[in-house]
Amino acid sequence: MSAAGSESSVDHRDAGEVKVDGRGLPLWLLLELTYKCPLKCSWCNNPLDFDRYQDELTTAEWAGVLRQGRRLGSLQLGFSGGEPVLRRDLEELVGEANQLGYYTNLITSGMGLNPTRLAALQRAGLKQIQLSLQACDAELNNRLVGVDAYAQKIAAARAIKAQGFPMVLNIPVSRYNIDQTPELLALAEELGVEYVEFANLQYYNWALLNRSDLLPTREQIARAEAAVAEARARLGRRMTIYFVITDYYDTRPKACMKGWGNIHLTIGPDGAALPCQEARVIKGLEFPNVREHDLGWIWHESPVFKKFRGEEWMREPCRSCDERGHDYGGCRCQAFLLTGDAANTDPVCSRSPHHHIVEEAVMAAMVERPQQRLIMRQRGLNLA
Amino acid sequence: MSHAESLQRSDVIELNPMFLFRWEEAQNAYVLLYPEGLVKLNTSAGEILSAVAETAAVGDLLDRLTKTYNNEDIAEDVLAFLEASHERGWIRVKR
Ligand SMILES: C[S@@+](CC[C@H](N)C(=O)[O-])C[C@H]1O[C@@H](n2cnc3c(N)ncnc32)[C@H](O)[C@@H]1O
Ligand code: SF4
Ligand code: SF4
């Protein structure tokens, strides 16, 4: 359930379905149980200073968040991180969430996920597992995550299926692995997964640091799309394939989070309430904490959640644009990171006066093509 | 890609076990939760899926709903909705 590619509401497609959003409820609740993780992905969307968040919420505090979330109307729940399996109370929290009526998803690298824990998670009522995989051969996969992880990931995938969980295979896509799209699809088919999500990277935090090394070329993307189209035709309903192209190659921004403070709520390991996982990148915002405030107040009343809600905050060209109802002016984090002001139009949009920044980033990535300069996720990175 | 397969009266159907179907007070409606998404159902869709949860064969389900609403004409619409649900994987044929 990463931000990209997850449909929050299937609306007006056919008889019987009614739009779910529009009532301003945090339908999607994402709990980042910890930022700790045994892997070192160079595109990780956790904060660069992830190791500063050691004061994690306790089991009882997370349980309180779960209860308040249901009272607010949350339905879809993701346990993520960091690596959520590192929390020994994961099973307990899943059980609590299940009893409260959430649809529970686990978002994991697969490290530490063994048949015993999977059986316990199933007993606790876990509904679905999203497993990330980076390549279909051990050498590349291990190089990309900086640790010998491939064998464990494949073992985890098989154990997840053996336990009978529906599974999303999440593949974070960069120039290093995109050419393996046909082989990755074949592997997904062999593993028997129901959903494959090719998640083109979103360039925040570690991914932004490594952007010029990670961004695939247009030609690579076109070839991957062709492989996806071929697999869709062949597999039909047996496997659903999401392929989310990086917005850097688009002329319109993604409808980020379907709007700030509209349907999505993330709680960080320290209890900070975030309108999206990346929101900490925006400097100058004071994120309310569940240790100090009631979730209802946070969602409905807190200044941060109201700041970019609706359309009041918009500037030109968004303010008078006829597409603002579709994309909400794009991503606030991207606007901040690339233009220095979160209230600007997302520079991915060709109507943005800052669009050249995105075009230049694409050019730079294509021209330099440096090899092996990736900065792996690590503690205490000195950015000076 | 295959066309929508038509359901037979004798088909035994069930809700896809991957999906969570239930009443949601905050939405004042039935909702269907599944990996990667959620759907809020309108009243008739919610009632039909509730019936699926309680009835096995397509034929029995059609009989039951036409009797409940005392209206033979709805059978066709109910069947069309079931086929659309099947197509989307909300329900499946147990055989
Ligand atoms: C941050 S991870 C946390 C869960 C777990 N450690 C894992 O990797 O699956 C959550 C999901 O985001 C994906 N992801 C990480 N960085 C990303 C980025 N920059 N853009 C898009 N997806 C990203 C991962 O592949 C994973 O599916
Ligand atoms: S993306 Fe990689 S480094 Fe980041 S939390 Fe997931 S597995 Fe760990
Ligand atoms: S100008 Fe703003 S609202 Fe219009 S398409 Fe671009 S980002 Fe969307």
C-alpha–C-alpha distance, residues A112 and A263, integer Å: 31
Query: Rounded to the nearest whole angstrom, what is the distance from the C-alpha of residue A268 to the centroid of ligand 3?
Result: 29
**Half-sphere CA count of A33, side-chain side, radius 13 A:** 27
C-alpha–C-alpha distance, residues A158 and A161, integer Å: 5
pLDDT of residue A23: 60
Q: What DSSP state is assigned to residue A309? A: S
Q: Alpha helix locations (H) across B13-91?
A: 43-54, 58-68, 74-87
pLDDT of residue A115: 97
| C-beta atoms of A101 and B42 within 8 A | no
Instruction: Give a yes or no: residue B82 inside a domain.
Output: yes
| C-beta atoms of B37 and A8 within 8 A | yes
Strand partners, B33: B20, B38
Q: Which domain holds residue B71?
A: 13-90
A167, A282, A297 from A58: Cα distances, Å: 28, 27, 21
Instruction: Give a yes or no: residue B72 inside a domain.
Output: yes
Ligand 3 surroundings by CB, under 6 angstroms: A 252-253, 317-318, 321, 323-324, 327, 329-330, 345-346, 349, 351
How many other β-carbons are positioned within 10 Å of the β-carbon of residue A199? 20
pLDDT of residue A11: 32
pLDDT of residue A373: 79
Q: Is the CB of A177 under 6 A from ligand 1?
A: no
Q: Alpha helix locations (H) across chain A?
A: 59-72, 90-100, 115-124, 138-145, 150-162, 181-191, 205-209, 211-214, 218-235, 295-300, 303-307, 324-327, 332-339, 355-368
The lowest-confidence range among A20-24, A305-309, B14-18, B68-72 is A20-24
**Half-sphere CA count of A44, side-chain side, radius 13 A:** 27
Of B2, B18, B41, the CB nearest to A236: B2
| C-beta atoms of B35 and A9 within 8 A | no
Of A18, A128, A195, the CB nearest to B41: A18
How many other β-carbons are positioned within 10 Å of the β-carbon of residue A286? 9
Averaged pLDDT score across all residues of chain B: 86
pLDDT in tens, chain A (384 residues): 333 222 333 332 334 555 554 468 899 999 999 999 999 999 999 999 999 999 999 999 999 999 999 999 999 999 999 999 999 999 999 999 999 999 999 999 999 999 999 999 999 999 999 999 999 999 999 999 999 999 999 999 999 999 999 999 999 999 999 999 999 999 999 999 999 999 989 999 999 999 989 999 999 999 999 999 999 999 987 899 999 888 999 999 999 888 999 999 999 999 999 999 999 999 999 999 999 999 999 999 999 999 999 999 999 999 999 999 999 999 999 999 999 999 999 999 999 999 999 999 998 888 766 566 789 999 988 665
Judged on CB neighbours under 10 Å (0-12, 13-18, 19+), A220 is middle
Degrees (nearest 5) of the Cα angle A277, A22, B50?
A: 100
Rg, chain B, Cα only? 13
Q: Is the CB of A256 under 6 A from ligand 2?
A: no
pLDDT, one tens digit per residue, over B34-61 is 887 888 898 889 999 998 888 779 999 9
Instruction: Give a yes or no: residue B60 inside a domain.
Output: yes
pLDDT of residue A17: 54
Residues of A with CB under 8 A from a CB of B: 1, 5-10, 14-20, 23, 25, 27, 72-73, 75-76, 101, 103, 105, 127-128, 130, 166, 168, 194-195, 233, 236-237, 242
Residue that the structure tokens 């390549």 belong to = A135
Is residue A61 within 8 A of residue A41, CB to CB? The reply is: no
Which CATH number characterizes residue B48's domain? Answer: 3.90.930
Is residue A121 within 8 A of residue A94, CB to CB? The reply is: yes
Q: Is the pLDDT of residue B1 over 50?
A: no
Q: Is the CB of A377 under 6 A from ligand 2?
A: yes
What the block records as the tokens of A299 is: 């969602």
Instruction: Give a yes or no: residue B7 inside a domain.
Output: no
pLDDT of residue A376: 95
First-to-last alpha carbon distance for chain B, in angstroms, is 22
Is residue A203 within 8 A of residue A6, CB to CB? The reply is: no
Chain B interface disruption, residue of A20, A71, A258, A299, most B CBs within 10 A: A20
pLDDT of residue A74: 94
Q: Is the pLDDT of residue B8 over 70?
A: yes
Instruction: Give a yes or no: residue B5 inside a domain.
Output: no
Instruction: Give a yes or no: residue B3 inside a domain.
Output: no
Query: Rounded to the nearest whole angstrom, what is the distance from the C-alpha of residue B4 to the centroid of ligand 2?
Result: 40
Chain B interface disruption, residue of A2, A9, A10, A232, most B CBs within 10 A: A10
Mutate to test the pocket of ligand 2, among A2, A46, A170 (most ligand atoms within 8 A of CB): A46
Decide the pairing of beta strands A167-173 and A195-200.
parallel
Q: What ipTM goes with this model?
A: 0.79
Instruction: Give a yes or no: residue B95 inside a domain.
Output: no
Is residue A130 within 8 A of residue A92, CB to CB? The reply is: no
Residue that the structure tokens 């050419």 belong to = A179
Distance from CA of A19 to the nearest CA of B (A): 7
Q: B68: alpha, beta or left, given left = phi > 0 and alpha = psi -120 to 50?
A: alpha
- A106: chain B residues, CB-CB within 8 Å: none
Is residue A199 within 8 A of residue A165, CB to CB? The reply is: no
A186, A190, A377, B6 from A182: Cα distances, Å: 6, 12, 28, 33
Counting the structural domains of chain B, the total is 1
| C-beta atoms of B40 and A194 within 8 A | no
Closest CA to A318 of A309, A330, A306, A301: A330
